[in-house]
Chains A and B, each alone.
Chain A
Amino acid sequence: MNNIISNILRFLVVILLQIFVCNYINLFGFVTPALYLLALLLLPLELPKSAQYLIGFFTGLVIDMFTHTLGVNAAACVLVMFVRPYIVRLLNGRSTVEGVDRPEPGIKDFKWIFTYVLLLSFLHQFMVVMLETASFRNFGHTLLSVLCNTVFTAFVIICAEYIFFPIKRNA
Chain B
Amino acid sequence: MNNLIEFIKKNFHYFLFAVLLVLSLTMIGKSMAYSNYKFARICQSITGPIQKNWSDMVHKFSLGQENEELVQQNIALMREHDNMFIVREDTLITQMSEEDSLHTTRTRMFDYTHAHIIYRTTDQAYNYLIVDKGAKDGITRDMAVTSPSGVVGVVGDVSDNFAAVIPILHPDSRISAVVSSVNQVGTVVWEGNDCRVAYLENIPQHLEINIGDSVVTSGYSNIFPKGLLVGTVKEVSMGNNASFLTIKIKLATNFNKVNTVYLIENQYKSEIDSLKAGFKTE
User: Contact residues of A with B, CB < 8 Å?
Assistant: 19-20, 24, 48-50, 53-54, 56-57, 60-61, 64-66, 68-72, 74-75, 78-79, 82, 131, 134
Known: A24-B58, A49-B13. Is A71-B20 also a contact (CB below 8 A)? no
Chain B residue at smallest Cβ distance from A82: B17
Q: Is the CB of B12 within 8 A of A75?
A: no
Q: Is the CB of B28 within 8 A of A131?
A: yes
B23 neighbours in A (Cβ, 8 Å): 57, 71, 74
Partner of A66, one of B17, B31, B32, B51: B51
Other 18 A-B pairs with CB < 8 A, given A68-B44, A70-B27, A134-B32? A19-B50, A20-B54, A49-B13, A50-B12, A54-B20, A57-B23, A57-B24, A61-B24, A65-B46, A66-B47, A66-B50, A69-B28, A70-B40, A71-B23, A71-B27, A71-B29, A71-B31, A78-B20
Q: Taking chain A's interface residues, is the majority helix, strand, or loop, or is none over half, making it mixed?
A: helix
| Residue among A50, A69, A71 having the largest count of chain B Cβ atoms under 10 Å | A71
For residue B26, CB closer than 8 A to chain A, the reply is yes
B37 neighbours in A (Cβ, 8 Å): 70
Known: A74-B24, A75-B24, A75-B25. Is A53-B17 also a contact (CB below 8 A)? yes
Q: Is the CB of B13 within 8 A of A50?
A: yes
Q: Is the CB of B17 within 8 A of A78?
A: yes
Partner of B21, one of A19, A64, A66, A75: A75
Whole-angstrom distance between the Cβ of A40 and the nearest chain B Cβ: 14
**How far is it, in angstroms, between the C-alpha of A48 and the C-alpha of B16 when the chains are bound?**
12
**How far is it, in angstroms, between the C-alpha of A167 and the C-alpha of B30 when the chains are bound?**
47
Across chains A and B, the number of contacting residue pairs, with CB separation under 8 Å, is 69
For residue B39, CB closer than 8 A to chain A, the reply is yes
Whole-angstrom distance between the Cβ of B60 and the nearest chain A Cβ: 14
Partner of B24, one of A20, A24, A60, A65: A60
Whole-angstrom distance between the Cβ of B136 and the nearest chain A Cβ: 38
Task: Please list the 8 inter-chain residue pairs (A to B) with the smallest Cβ-Cβ separation, ordered nearest first.
Answer: A71-B27, A49-B13, A71-B28, A75-B24, A74-B24, A71-B24, A65-B43, A70-B31
| Residue among B13, B37, B50 having the largest count of chain A Cβ atoms under 10 Å | B13
**How far is it, in angstroms, between the C-alpha of A65 and the C-alpha of B44 when the chains are bound?**
7
B27 neighbours in A (Cβ, 8 Å): 70-71, 74
B29-63 at interface with A (beta carbon < 8 Å)? 29-32, 37, 39-40, 43-44, 46-47, 50-51, 54, 58
A68 neighbours in B (Cβ, 8 Å): 40, 43-44
Whole-angstrom distance between the Cβ of B237 and the nearest chain A Cβ: 60
Known: A50-B13, A134-B32. Is A70-B39 also a contact (CB below 8 A)? yes
B24 neighbours in A (Cβ, 8 Å): 57, 60-61, 71-72, 74-75, 78
**How far is it, in angstroms, between the C-alpha of A56 and the C-alpha of B12 when the chains are bound?**
16
Q: Is the CB of B25 within 8 A of A70?
A: no
**Sampled A-B contacts (17; CB under 8 Å):** A49-B13, A49-B16, A50-B13, A53-B13, A57-B20, A65-B46, A69-B28, A69-B31, A70-B28, A70-B43, A71-B23, A71-B28, A71-B31, A74-B20, A78-B20, A78-B21, A82-B17
B32 neighbours in A (Cβ, 8 Å): 134
Q: Is the CB of A71 within 8 A of B26?
A: yes
